[in-house]
Chains A and B, each alone.
Chain A
Amino acid sequence: MSTVVAPSQAPAGAVARGLPAWWQAAPFSAVFALFFVLPLLLVLMVSFWHFNEYELIPGFTLHNYAAIFEGCSQRTEQGDLCVTLSTYLSTLKFCALVWGITLMLGFAVAYFLAFHVPSAGLQTGLFVLCTVPFWTSNVIRMISWVPLLGRNGLVNQTLQGLGLTQAPLDWLLYSDFSVVLAFVHLYTLFMIVPIFNSMMRIDRSLLEAASDAGASAWQTLWHVIVPLSRTGVLIGSIFVITIVMGDFVTIGVMGGQQIASVGKIIQVQTSYLQFPLAAANAVILLAVVLMIIWGLTRLVDIRREL
């Protein structure tokens, strides 16, 4: 086709070739537009509306955004930051902790699976084993920590039984610790899968070459495997970060409802029919998450790597 119209191919040819491509992309674009772009625009629109106890009033006001940041210019009476800043700080703290821990664990597990398990069959078997916990609901997996970590739970009973502690440890449950523990338990697999996938695509002859050139195991790991797994690391990081930023169930259950999260604030506001405030919060959260992801994609050009 392109050979026939060779001289003036550039504009006409692009359109001719482009049209079927557009048609092919159309169904998915339509789904995307209807179920993602449109709702998102609605959220953005509602975030500028007025509201009262029982209705939304169309209009344009920045009041909702102002309300979210009200009092953020100074500390409160108790010497705290305003709700929005302290909530985001707390959410970001969880995000950083969970990201760091799942990255270490996920990378280690994937490395072991990819390079230290000799047979492909065993590799697949162990990989499936990693996914077994996902056969139950994640709420159940989360709640099963509660009887384990409680004041009269298994861990405390064991510690006291062994004489290691005199009184039950309260910080095991309804604390930052239990929240991070549950997150790591729930989401490490999201790190393992993409990293494992990237590692399996590394050409094994590169490792031999590194070894022939006299590199130590650590040097091979750091200079060969890590750079070549970065796509997987990035994809896993995006999964974990977006999930943790928007979570309110895990923080609610494991934090004893005492730890704030952005998702929780949005949920409370929607249940009190304060949709515009919730929408404004959602827009801000979305902006923050997009900025984080944009920052991450600066580090790795994900399209080229894939």
Chain B
Amino acid sequence: MSDSQSSPKADVPKTDLSETAVQRRSLLKGTAGILAAGVFPAVHAQDKPVLRYLGTAVNQDKAIAEKFKADTGITLQYVAVTTDDVTKRAVTAPNSFDLIDTEYFSLKKIVPTGNLKGISTKRVKNADKITSLFTTGTVAGKLVGDQGTAPKKVIFLEGEKSKVFAKAPTEWMSLIPTTYNADTLGIRPDLIKRPISSWAELLNPEFKGKAAILNIPSIGIMDAAMVVEAKGIHKYADKGNMTKAEIDLTIKTLIEAKKAGQFRALWKDFNESVNLMASGEVVIQSMWSPAVTAVRGKGIDCVFQPLKEGYRAWASGFGLPATLSGAKLDAAYEFINWFLDGWAGAYLNRQGYYSAVLETAKAKMEAYEWAYWMEGKAAAQDIKNPHGEVIAKAGSVRDGGSYEQRMGGIACWNAVMDENEYMVRKWNEFVAA
């Protein structure tokens, strides 16, 4: 805490120097605010604030809120909406939350509104330990795929109040990463009965009437692009930022498949994908990792199949609304620091996600757990989820292998394209076809 108290004070005069004459009053006010908030935290400690946490239900775990409350006394109030609605709320109602948990690709819509405040890395203790995948786009020193809205392109802002992304690392982060993963196709090996190794299989006529793709345009189009490239129809310069002609081609491929009866259904909700797979309506489809775990939890064989063309990655993180100040701002920073401190990271890792600061999470996990989840080694003993249920027997290996293998295999990221409006229009055409 002592670091974080002194740094903003030292920093404020520096950044505002050019405008001191004009903005003397606001500077004084600002400094007073920081003094009040930072130097006398004991005053606020009596009356801990409540943080309204806007995000998707998948990330809002009851156990995390309970543990945080027990550790700090601050209450988290979860506001659960869908991925698209998180963005919508951030743009249209920026004062309806104190903390936002959103995907990096949404930043292209949110940051230009000025509704988010840059997060000072000087106040985040483990900021320099955040995995290099976010800051430089590398895993174990090697560059990974950066097509689409890769976090490294949008993670830094030019200042605390900034509407543009910084080209090089700065003190100000747009979002502090929470969870991320690399998605691929989910399959039912018991019904397919042969190895699957390419995205092209999604449109293989062999699975006519037994395939599904997700009906969230900005993610579905990326899965479709992986298929188009795997089938050798077209090589995109950037799958995450297609030209109109490329969008036309991708949608045309989907429409042809749809007319030939390839898709049993399209899904939009995580639970729909679980039901489609568990009921056997579908044997191969776009899927998310917790959905695969949910199908497996029903005792049905389902694999999150690594494919040779690589993964479609996503990442989400915490952001602060621009108007947040005083005790609530301090509480938000306290939450972010707590989140990166290891307990939450270990909790997420045990669910099959990945945490932003690996070393603190490692300290809170057993050696055999770390070996199974992160190093791709066979489980030395039964692997349990955070609720104590066995989800992998001793001797089994995690699909996708180690962290380096999996994250190193990223081909593209969820994205908002320049031609987003056109893409959504064409996607509707696919749904209507």
Contacts and interface: CB of A to CB of B under 8 A. Distances in A.
A78 B433 CA distance: 9
**Size range of the interface on A?**
35 or more
A86 B85 contact: no
B79 to A, nearest CB: 17
Interface stretch (A114-122, A147-155, A217-225): A147-155
Contacts of B167: none
B280 interface: yes
Nearest to A90: B432
Interface string A251-284: 0100011111000110011111110010000000
A170 interface: yes
Contact of A152 (B109, B217, B279, B420): B279
A258 B258 CA distance: 9
Interface string A167-182: 0001001100000000
Contacts of A174: 264-265, 281
Contacts of A151: 279-281
B266 A55 contact: no
A146 B424 CA distance: 28
A67 interface: yes
A83 interface: yes
Contacts of A264: 431
A264 B216 CA distance: 12
Contacts of B255: 78
A54 B113 contact: yes
Given A174-B264, A256-B266, A268-B424, A77 B252 contact: yes
Contacts of B428: 83, 87, 260, 265, 268
A305 to B, nearest CB: 39
Contacts of B113: 54-55
A80 interface: yes
Nearest to A258: B266
A268 B255 CA distance: 18
Interface string B112-146: 11000000000000000000000000000000000
Interface in A135-163: 146-147, 150-152
The A interface is mostly helix, strand or loop, or mixed, namely loop
A203 interface: no
A173 B282 CA distance: 13
Contacts of B265: 174, 256-258
Contacts of A268: 217, 424, 427-428, 431
A212 interface: no
B259 interface: yes
B275 interface: yes
B275 A53 contact: no
A78 B264 CA distance: 21
A173 B281 CA distance: 10
Interface string B403-433: 0000000000000100011001101110111
B424 A272 contact: yes
Nearest to B267: A257
Contacts of A277: 421
B109 A53 contact: yes
Nearest to B280: A152
A53 B432 contact: no
A270 B428 CA distance: 13
B103 to A, nearest CB: 14
Contacts of B217: 268, 272
Interface string A39-71: 000000000000001110000000000010000
A90 B255 CA distance: 17
A83 B256 contact: no
Contact of A257 (B85, B92, B268): B268
A174 B279 CA distance: 14
B247 to A, nearest CB: 14
A258 B431 contact: yes
Contacts of B85: 271
Contacts of A260: 428, 431-432
Contacts of A147: 279
A53 B112 CA distance: 9
B84 interface: yes
B266 A274 contact: no
B209 interface: yes
B88 interface: yes
B231 interface: no
A40 to B, nearest CB: 19
Given A83-B428, A271-B88, A273-B91, A150 B259 contact: no
Contact of B424 (A77, A78, A257, A269): A269
Interface in B228-274: 252, 255-256, 258-259, 263-268
A119 B218 CA distance: 60
B420 A272 contact: yes
A235 to B, nearest CB: 31
Interface string B278-319: 011100000000000000000000000000000000000000
A257 B252 contact: no
A268 B110 CA distance: 18
B116 to A, nearest CB: 11
B267 A78 contact: no
A54 B428 CA distance: 20
Interface string B81-96: 0101101100110000
Contacts of A273: 87-88, 91-92, 109
B425 A67 contact: yes
Interface in B39-96: 82, 84-85, 87-88, 91-92
A150 B277 CA distance: 12
B84 A272 contact: yes
Contacts of A272: 84, 217-218, 420-421, 424
Contacts of A173: 281
Contacts of B351: none
A76 B256 CA distance: 13
Contact of B416 (A53, A77, A170): A53
Contact of A83 (B84, B92, B109, B429): B429
B425 A78 contact: no
Contacts of A152: 279-280
A272 B421 CA distance: 8
Contacts of A258: 258, 263, 265-266, 431
Contacts of B5: none
Pick the 6 closest A-B CB pairs, nearest first: A256-B265, A260-B432, A257-B266, A271-B84, A54-B109, A83-B429
Given A78-B256, A83-B429, 14 more contacts: A53-B108, A53-B416, A54-B110, A78-B255, A257-B215, A257-B266, A257-B431, A259-B431, A268-B217, A271-B84, A272-B424, A273-B88, A273-B109, A277-B421
7 contacts: A151-B280, A152-B279, A174-B265, A257-B268, A258-B266, A264-B431, A271-B84
